[in-house]
Amino acid sequence: MIVSWNWLTDYLRLDLPVDVLTERLALAGLNHESTEEVGGDLAIDLEVTSNRPDCLAHIGVAREIGVLFDRKVCLPDPRPKANGAPVEGLAQVRIDAPDLCRRFTARVVTGVKVAESPWWMRKRLETLGVRPISNVVDVTNYVMFECGQPLHAYDLAKLDGRILIPRRAVKGETLRAINGKSYELTPDMLVIADASRPVGLAGVMGGLDTEIGAETTDILIEAARFDPLNVRRTSRALGLHSDSSYRFERPIDPEVTEWASRRCAELILETAGGTLHPGMIDAGGFAVDRPAVTLRLDQIARVLGIAIDPAEVARILLALGLESLGGPPEAPKFRPPSWRSDLEREIDLIEEVARVHGYEHIPEDRAVPLAGAPRGPRERVEDVARSLLSGLGFDEAITLSFVPDELVGTMDPDATAPPIRVEHSVRKRANALRQSLVPGLMAVRRHNESHGNADVDLFEIANVYLPRPGQPLPDEPTRLTLLSGRDFLGLKGIVEAVLARFHVEKLLEVRPSACPWFTPGRSAELFLGGTPLGRIGEVDRSKLDSLELRGTCSAAELTLGVLVEKADLVPRHHALPPLPAVARDLSLVVPRALSWAELSGVVGRAGGSNLEAIVYLDAFRGGNIPEDRQSLHFGLRFRHPERTLTGEEVERSVHEIVEACASRFEATLRT
């Protein structure tokens, strides 16, 4: 925001060096970018944060200076004289989109003479870098830069029906803006229309067909309030930005609209002549509630680390425009002014007191008492998973939520809808919200491979975005995803290690899966206590080739919420086994369609309490094995916690395993 030094002197006394002024403003939150001399005036460029739209105008900056330097601020009190017929007989306003247009006011001035603006007005606009156009147009710009309320002037004779209607655009409508370009409109955009067509984009730019020209004699002055989010979306969708849209994208002081309309009418009468007709059309205007905020004075010392006299606190807040509403001496109440929509909570008032009192008065070594919030189950699970995976050789990655089309994909068959996309000027290519973390991690792995780091193993904990039919917002589950150069069994061991760390490995159930991302026969669905946990598998070679990945790549994607729900986070101690284990190997000929998960489940139940582990070794098909059969080779480990097992006990358990498999699967020992 560029402000004029000479302009500021209209509102308050500035008998101080400009560098003193800009330094104090910077310390209070308005950073100083530069100061340039422009034709005998000073153009001061200030950086205004998004929460201070009131400082996007000279009056707002003048108020800040008045508070910081204890100067009285005098504002204009416009009282334009009106004559002739009432305004209601000359024009009409009808709001058809009250959710997007909160207030729309109109005044009418007839008999104006469009000409060059007076020298003083042109000079001030030029200091701000604004090109003067004509007295009427320059007045609307002048008032906007004065109070922050954008305005627009229409040639009343060019308005069909002499009516203005804030409404949603109709699909296929176009508007030729005052910049000479035509724009195709969509139904989610708010336009200002007359009886037959759009004549302006609400809050963004006026239309060329009704602009003020040299022949204009009757004008309608618009001062309105529009929905900031709609203005922002429209401006970005069309790539059309203006000083008006920049201000309308932020909250406008609801009580300045009528003042700005009067001020504009007064200056038009002064610079262009004419007759202001009595009254103002005011559609949609309603009082804006400004709730009181209670300030507990003892919280100032607790938050800032220093005590500030209550009288000084009250002086600062009253100087900022807040209204004192009484209350207990230790917890007075204040109502923020209409132009400070950012003051909603107690901490906001404490921040105001701090910045006006001066941050430099807070000692650097003053201790501020802080207490860390306890970590919840999710944070604890994430921390444990990060620590464990890092110890297993994995590196954590953080990828973008947006992915390009070639990386759009999902491991979740329930997410059958197309991904959610955003239309934005900086998101022309990678504009799809991810439905899985796997594609993003594969891109990271490709980057590492291309730079000679072929053995990188990655994990990420982040949200995915799954569309929900009929719902405006997607489902956003958090996933723990692993990508490794290990094969299927290697990554399965990593997943089992993660589950063992949370003491839930015995709840794991593995079922065959047919996810198209994975190699057939090398993928599985994971369940934890009967609840779907995720998927694991070796990525199909066609997917690897499409992403130019050379080596084997396996992926696992787990739903973090299920892990948080089932995890046992209580640390446990298990002594090392004092006695040796007894190992046996078995090769069973079973049906070809039988999965390892089914076989291992039966083996585990039949092996008894001394069976400590079952280890898959390999599978063999062909040779002397019938075509509809296969040989599954696996290892068994037996151990008793208190004594050494005898050979007879182990053989008895092995015999029971073989008998159980023979009964269930018609299994036979391979010879």
545-550 long-range Cβ contacts below 8 angstroms, 24+ apart: 546/406, 547/406, 547/407, 547/442, 547/443, 547/446, 548/446, 549/442, 549/445, 549/446, 549/449, 550/449, 550/454
Does the structure show a pLDDT above 60 at 413? Answer: no
Summarize pLDDT for 570-625 with one digit per residue, the tens.
888 878 888 899 999 999 999 998 888 889 989 999 999 999 999 989 999 988 89
Closest CA to 603 of 592, 620, 590: 590
Distance of CA 583 to the CA centre of its chain: 56
What is the rounded average pLDDT of the residues 257-265?
Answer: 96
What is the secondary structure of 475-528 as a DSSP string?
Answer: B--EEEEEEESS-HHHHHHHHHHHHHHTT-GGGEEEEE---TTEEEEEEEEEEE
CA distances in angstroms from 254 to 133, 259, 338, 635, listed in the order given: 28, 10, 7, 77
pLDDT of residue 110: 97
Angle at 63 between CA 61 and CA 66, to 5 degrees: 110
Domains of the chain, each with CATH number or no CATH? 2-69 (3.30.56.10), 87-283 (3.50.40.10), 293-361 (3.30.56.10), 377-566 (3.30.930.10), 582-669 (3.30.70.380)
Q: How confident is the model at residue 372 (pLDDT cuts 50, 70, 90)?
A: confident
How crowded is residue 141: how many other Cβ atoms within 10 Å of its Cβ? 22
Angle at 500 between CA 652 and CA 475, to 5 degrees: 130
Q: How confident is the model at residue 416 (pLDDT cuts 50, 70, 90)?
A: low
Does the structure show a pLDDT above 70 at 340? Answer: yes
Beta bridge partners of 531: 528
Summarize pLDDT for 164-182 with one digit per residue, the tens.
999 999 999 999 999 999 9
Q: Which of 143-152, 176-185, 357-366, 492-501 has the lowest mean pLDDT?
A: 357-366
Token output for 216: 């204009």
